[in-house]
Structure 1
Amino acid sequence: MPKFETLSADTHSNIAIDESKLATTYSKFHLLNIEIKEAVQAASEFPLFFSKSPDAKYWTISALCGLAPQENVFETQGTWLGHYAPLSLRTLPFVTRIDGESQQQEILVDVESPAISTQGEPLFLASKRPTAYLDTKKKLLEERVNAMQQTAVMLNQLSEMGLIHAVDLIIEYKDNTNQRVGGLATVNEQRLQALNGEELASLNQKGLLNVLFNMLGSIFQVNRVIRLQNTKFPGRAVNNIKFETSKS
């Protein structure tokens, strides 16, 4: 289980980050957050879906990386099989949050992460100033925060335009059992085809039209997930995955 502490030179000056161990952390994420700015690139690797944030207040984009919680088929024996790692992974083992009292943004570090070590990239110099490595991580965290805000605004617009369509995944296993997985959504193709010229131009100007088409095309990456699933978990081998309009 992650254990986050507010990053401090006084508390964490003796720890380092072993980047080679981060892929082990990735193995626990069956859904990865993807931001709008990286969706086109991520679509070449993963099947992309819309999903609601944990508090259900806004939409996010998620890469489907596994068929069960805490299973990521793109990680095996500490190796990341993807050619691309999204911002949500590259910022680990750090996250940011807004302090409830000061409303200031603070950086947290997961001290239970497998990447925490006495060897690797130190976080602070003897003077207690951040190392170049930590400065790079801070910039990535800032980039991700800005990207998350941009994503939330743009996906809200897509939702208001009726372009988000809830679906269920029907997983057909080789032992002839089925499993229905909900909580995901994809592009509403019927609504997309019905957009008028002004709406299409607006989406294109914001770069959203390209994102929508790439998300639709990314569905074929489900075949890659099936292949990786059958290699990593042969006891739960999959024949096929279908999509149905959500019944909930």
Structure 2
Amino acid sequence: MPNPVLLNNIDHKDLRVITRRGAAYGDQLMAVPTFPAEFRDVQACYPIVFRKTTDGLGFEPLVLFGFQDGENLFLQGERWDAPYVPMMLERQPFLIGLAGNELMINVDLDHPRVSRSEGEEVFKPHGGTTDYLDRANSLLLAIHEGMQGMPGFLQALLDNELLESFTLDVELNDGSQNRMIGFYTINEDRLQALGGDAIVKLHQAGYLHAIYMVIASLSNFRMLIDRKNARLA
């Protein structure tokens, strides 16, 4: 279970963060959440799909790393085999906290990246923040700001009936048949059929670009299948 606490330079003066990659550090994940402002970077490497939230009342966009729980086809030992690491993974072990209306940095003390003996220093010996923590703070701020635009984007997709469920059937080189279900993508036929006013509204809100980034990302399924075959070989 996560153990988030407010980060401070007294209790955590000697805290360090292990930055190398690996399953031992929480990287063995099938997917992580993303947001429209990140879609351009994400779509260059990974498929972007949607799934229903755990309460079943809404949707969230995800970056896919594999086809089943606990599978990350971009993790090669302690190396991440892609030029871009999604922000929701890169931020670990830090989280955004709130103190009144002020954004604060929380740290998950039980995260496997947290150490007292190795990794990047979080605070300088006299209490100032290190460049590493400054970068983490910028990353958390970008995530927070990106998430602020999520409700409007998702509502626009639902209002225009642009989300549709899909099933991905994959036959691997070993002859096994695999089916991935439970995810949603953009209904391209519905998108093409939208009237001019609806398209203009999506464009003016900045949503049309994000929609096309999702569509473009689907070409990465071919590469993901190739990675799966290589892993099985």
Whether these two folds match at TM > 0.5 is yes
Counterpart for residue 68 of structure 2 = 68
Aligned-pair distance for 1:75? 0.9
Q: 2:107 aligns with which of 100, 109, 112?
A: 109
Unaligned runs of 5+ residues in structure 2 are none
Change (3 A) 1:212 1:75: same
Listed as ranges, the matches of 1:13-32 within 5 Å are 13-21=13-21, 25=25, 27-32=27-32
3-state SS in 2 of match to 1:29? coil
Counterpart-to-counterpart distance in 2, 1:224 and 1:174:
14
Count the aligned residue pairs: 231
**Do 1:94 and 1:108's aligned partners in 2 also have CA atoms closer than 8 Å?**
yes
3-state SS in 2 of match to 1:19? coil
- The Cα RMSD (Å) is 2.4
**Do 2:21 and 2:80's aligned partners in 1 also have CA atoms closer than 8 Å?**
no
One-letter amino acid matched to 1:66: G
**Do 1:26 and 1:75's aligned partners in 2 also have CA atoms closer than 8 Å?**
no
Percent identity, aligned pairs only, is: 26
Aligned-pair distance for 1:210? 2.1
Counterpart-to-counterpart distance in 2, 1:85 and 1:206:
27
3-state SS in 2 of match to 1:68? coil
* CA deviation profile, 1:122-159 (whole Å, cap 9, x unmatched): 11233434333213212211220121121232112111
One-letter amino acid matched to 2:80: W
Counterpart for residue 87 of structure 2 = 87
Counterpart-to-counterpart distance in 1, 2:18 and 2:224:
28
One-letter amino acid matched to 2:201: S
One-letter amino acid matched to 1:120: G
Counterpart for residue 228 of structure 2 = 229
* Ranges of 4+ aligned residues in structure 1 off by more than 6 Å: none
Counterpart for residue 46 of structure 1 = 46
**Do 2:21 and 2:77's aligned partners in 1 also have CA atoms closer than 8 Å?**
no
Aligned-pair distance for 1:103? 7.4
Unaligned runs of 5+ residues in structure 1 are 235-248
One-letter amino acid matched to 1:14: D
31-40 or 164-173: which moved more?
164-173
Q: TM-score, normalised by structure 1?
A: 0.82
Q: TM-score, normalised by structure 2?
A: 0.86
One-letter amino acid matched to 2:163: I
**Do 1:46 and 1:63's aligned partners in 2 also have CA atoms closer than 8 Å?**
yes
**Do 2:16 and 2:118's aligned partners in 1 also have CA atoms closer than 8 Å?**
yes
